[in-house]
């Protein structure tokens, strides 16, 4: 709009909002129903209301919390679960033989044996789902109200672990059961039921433990950490004095393209009010000054801070969205104007508070770099890989005049002088197109314990002792989703010069937890050269060794049942120690620095070629990683046989990771 950040002008041809400011919201007028001995049909609605099978209503889907109904006003009616009349159907007419006619939506009738199979599959699914809910919350009542960074990350990691597990089960049972549909909603339902959430107390301003630039891939994640408590609505609000409409102020908004927002300016957001959109059963209409709209209007006069979350299409998964927390804004002005539908819409101009870390501005810069790579400041090479990878990797230095790392040959995979021989001959699967989850006849799935290691989106479902991917003798397609490592990374990376740690690696794209980062490529060696050989020890800087001691952590969804609590599920089963040197030849993995709180972890993967098994080291995202965040992993601590000495000071370097849990050194 015209006028800049400090302008107070109202655009021409707009409506005078004062005409609607005194309108009494209809929501404040409580309906009065006639008393009758027999309640209306919707009193007998099912307990779950509009929720699908396997779901139970929970806040925020169950309605506003903390707003008791007015006593004495048809109390019995309001205590019942109301359902829209259109959701009820008349009883089917009796058939000629006296039996009720069973109706289904375009489905053929099934015989008794099919019914029994369906019932058995449904029972199996319900038992499996019940097993997943058997875990301890581990969060106190105080932590549910007020969180911190560690707690926020813990809640998000547990949600993601549960969602991935449900997605894995959904992929395997999709044609058999509806219980696992919409894994993110089901995971959120379970988390709320078990009390695994934080920052449940609504507040104005910053949310404890949530940082500007944090990214999310589901609205449920925003709810679980208290950033935005509305599952669908774009405006979240809270009462200032009492729970009446006029005293509510906006505390957060989500701008994700559902309305005609002007969201291109990184410091100014022109936000469209809620309501009035056309749908399948109604036409577009004028927006009304109620609920979130009046809350934003009140925030304009009170000048309170409003959290802004911006949503975009996920470049990696086009059907999904990614949300970024863009910090605190204030509503500066509002007006009404006609939208594209010809109906009146409220507009609110929000201005970002100065001095905050960049978030959306970073996304805009990346968008520009992708359109024109030469516009990237400090660009040395547009593609470090020289075409070896399907996606270019930029080489950038904005720190000093160094023109790049020492020379090395770029290779995209590991090179073996000899292969690991399998104990028994290994043959490929018999899948003719692509391996399908739940196919018990697929030998590759059998090698993985009966579970597909990746979900439909290519995300790693859980850490495993060893993952077996399809090999060269498998007749399935090259893009079979059990070939994640072999098809390469799908993210636009950048090798950049850090201020104090040499060269590092980061991404231009948002990375979802479980995303494949890259393989550790290089040459397999017998042992690491020692510094005593006369070199400067640089060989040790570009080495990956599976035999090191690594900090343990839990990434999979855990339950309390005895068979699920086994610690071996995340302990690797590697046939022989593997040492890879990337000093002379390697890929982007050689630029990943150490951190005591890493955002990347490694996973052993094996696939065969001519009946020989080849072990590979793959890196996956431990959590959601925002764009331009350095990617790091734990280098581990060497055993005495690696250092060649019992003195653990040998090869120790000062750690500069900056983590609150930094141990002060690494090897």
Spell out the residues 6+ positions from residue 504 whose beta carbon is closer than 8 angstroms to its own: 495, 496, 497, 498, 591, 592, 593, 630, 631
Tell me if the domain spanning 373-529+540-559+570-642+650-666 has CATH number 2.170.270.10.
yes
Spell out the residues 6+ positions from residue 167 whose beta carbon is closer than 8 angstroms to its own: 180, 183, 455, 456, 459, 461
Q: Which helix (H) or strand (E) holds 333?
A: strand 321-338
Residues 145-180: pLDDT tens digits? 999 999 999 999 999 999 999 998 888 875 445 555
Looking up tokens 């090259």 gives 478
Could you give the CA distance from residue 189 to residue 184 in angstroms, rounded to a whole number? 9
**Tokens standing for residue 156:** 């998000």
**Superfamily assignment of 229-371 in CATH?**
SRA-YDG (2.30.280.10)
Could you give the CA distance from residue 152 to residue 143 in angstroms, rounded to a whole number? 10
Could you give the CA distance from residue 161 to residue 167 in angstroms, rounded to a whole number? 10
Closest CA to 252 of 289, 219, 218: 219
Q: Is 625 left (phi over 0), alpha (psi -120 to 50) or beta?
A: beta
Q: Residues 600, 487: contact at Cβ < 8 Å?
A: no
Could you give the CA distance from residue 273 to residue 286 in angstroms, rounded to a whole number? 11
Spell out the residues 6+ positions from residue 278 whose beta carbon is closer than 8 angstroms to its own: 284, 341
- Identify the sign of the CA torsion 536, 541, 543, 549: positive
Q: What is the largest CA-CA distance in the chain?
A: 97
Decide: residue 130, CB within 10 A, 0-12 exposed, 13-18 middle, 19+ buried.
Answer: exposed
Give residue 647's pLDDT.
62
The three-state secondary structure class of 379 is: strand
User: Based on C-alpha coordinates, what's the Rg of the chain?
Assistant: 29
* DSSP for residue 349: E
Spell out the residues 6+ positions from residue 86 whose beta carbon is closer than 8 angstroms to its own: none
What is the CB neighbour count within 10 angstroms for residue 135?
19
**Tokens standing for residue 580:** 């890879």
CA 132 remoteness from chain centre: 20
Share of the chain above pLDDT 90, in %: 54
pTM metric for this prediction: 0.80
Please list the ranges in the chain whose pLDDT falls under 70: 1-129, 174-181, 242-246, 419-426, 528-540, 560-568, 641-648
Looking up tokens 């909603």 gives 185
Could you give the CA distance from residue 270 to residue 307 in angstroms, rounded to a whole number? 14
The three-state secondary structure class of 19 is: helix
Could you give the CA distance from residue 224 to residue 218 in angstroms, rounded to a whole number? 10
The pairing of beta strand 235-239 with beta strand 305-313: unpaired
Give residue 505's pLDDT.
98
**Tokens standing for residue 165:** 């597990």
Give residue 28's pLDDT.
46
Give residue 244's pLDDT.
55
Spell out the residues 6+ positions from residue 652 whose beta carbon is closer than 8 angstroms to its own: 665, 666, 667
Give residue 73's pLDDT.
37
Per the DSSP assignment, residues forming a β-bridge with 493 are 507
Closest CA to 453 of 175, 180, 167, 129: 167
CA count, 13 A, side-chain hemisphere, 526: 2
Spell out the residues 6+ positions from residue 166 whose beta carbon is closer than 8 angstroms to its own: 132, 180, 183, 186, 187
- Cis status, amide bond into 351, omega within 30 of 0: no
CA separation, residue 39 to residues 68, 69, 88, 344 (Å): 21, 19, 15, 39
Residues 16-61: pLDDT tens digits? 544 444 444 444 444 444 444 443 333 333 444 444 444 445 454 4
Q: Which helix (H) or strand (E) holds 327?
A: strand 321-338
The residues spanned by each domain of the chain are: 229-371, 373-529+540-559+570-642+650-666
Give residue 425's pLDDT.
60
């Amino acid at each position: 709009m015209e006028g800049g950040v400090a302008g107070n002008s109202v655009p021409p041809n707009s409506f005078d909002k004062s005409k609607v400011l005194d309108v009494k919201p209809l929501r404040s007028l409580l309906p009065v129903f006639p008393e009758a001995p027999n309640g209306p049909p919707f009193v007998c609605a099912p307990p779950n209301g509009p929720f699908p099978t396997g779901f139970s209503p929970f806040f925020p889907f169950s309605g506003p919390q903390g707003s008791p109904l007015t006593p004495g006003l048809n109390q019995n009616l309001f205590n019942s679960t109301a359902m829209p009349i259109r959701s009820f159907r008349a009883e089917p007419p009796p058939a000629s033989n006296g039996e009720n006619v069973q109706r289904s939506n375009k489905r053929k009738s099934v015989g008794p044996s099919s019914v029994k199979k369906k019932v058995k599959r449904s029972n199996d699914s319900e038992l499996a789902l019940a097993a997943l809910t058997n875990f301890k919350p581990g969060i106190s009542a105080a932590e549910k109200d007020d969180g911190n960074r560690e707690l926020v990350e813990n809640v998000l990691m547990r949600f993601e672990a549960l969602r991935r597990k449900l997605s894995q089960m959904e992929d395997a049972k999709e044609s058999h059961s509806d219980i696992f549909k919409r894994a993110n909603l089901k995971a959120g339902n379970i988390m709320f039921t078990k009390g695994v959430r934080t920052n449940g107390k609504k507040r104005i301003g910053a949310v404890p433990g949530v940082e500007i630039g944090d990214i999310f891939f589901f609205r449920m994640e925003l709810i679980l950490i208290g950033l935005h408590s509305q599952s669908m609505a774009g405006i979240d609000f809270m009462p200032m004095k009492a729970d009446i409409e006029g005293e509510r102020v906006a505390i957060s908004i989500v701008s994700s393209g559902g309305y005609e927002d002007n969201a291109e300016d990184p410091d100014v957001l022109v936000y469209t009010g809620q309501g009035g959109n056309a749908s399948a059963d109604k036409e577009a209409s004028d927006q009304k000054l109620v609920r979130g709209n009046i809350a934003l209007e009140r925030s304009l006069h009170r000048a309170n801070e409003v959290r802004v979350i911006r949503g975009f299409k996920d470049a990696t998964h086009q059907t999904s969205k990614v949300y970024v927390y863009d910090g605190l804004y204030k509503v500066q002005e509002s007006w009404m104007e006609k939208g594209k539908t010809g109906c009146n819409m409220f507009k609110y101009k929000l201005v970002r508070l100065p001095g905050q870390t960049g978030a959306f501005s970073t996304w805009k810069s990346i968008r520009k770099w992708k359109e024109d790579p030469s516009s990237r400041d400090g660009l040395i090479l547009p593609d470090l890989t020289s075409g070896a990878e399907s996606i270019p990797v930029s080489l950038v230095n904005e720190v000093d005049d160094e023109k790049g790392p020492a020379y090395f040959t770029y290779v995209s995979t590991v090179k073996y002088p000899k292969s690991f021989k399998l104990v028994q001959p290994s043959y490929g699967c018999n899948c003719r197109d692509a391996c399908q989850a739940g196919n018990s006849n697929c030998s590759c799935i059998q090698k993985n314990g009966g579970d597909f290691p990746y979900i439909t989106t290519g995300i790693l479902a859980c850490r495993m002792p060893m993952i077996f991917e399809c090999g060269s003798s498998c007749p399935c397609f090259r893009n079979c989703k059990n070939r994640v490592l072999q098809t390469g990374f799908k993210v636009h990376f950048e090798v950049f010069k850090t201020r104090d740690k040499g060269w590092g690696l980061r991404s231009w794209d948002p990375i979802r937890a479980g995303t494949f980062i890259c393989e550790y490529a290089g040459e397999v060696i017998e042992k690491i050269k020692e510094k005593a050989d006369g070199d400067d020890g640089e060989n040790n800087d570009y080495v990956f060794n599976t035999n090191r001691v690594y900090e343990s952590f839990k990434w999979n969804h855990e339950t309390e049942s005895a068979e699920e609590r086994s610690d071996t599920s995340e302990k690797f089963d590697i046939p022989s120690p593997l040492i890879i040197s990337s000093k002379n030849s390697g890929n982007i993995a050689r630029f990943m620095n150490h951190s005591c709180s890493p955002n990347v972890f490694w996973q052993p993967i094996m696939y065969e070629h001519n009946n020989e098994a080849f072990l590979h080291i793959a890196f996956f995202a431990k959590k959601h990683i925002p764009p331009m965040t350095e990617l790091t992993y734990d280098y581990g601590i060497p055993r005495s046989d690696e250092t060649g000495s019992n003195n653990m000071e040998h090869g120790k370097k000062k750690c500069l990771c900056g983590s609150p849990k930094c141990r002060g050194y690494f090897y």
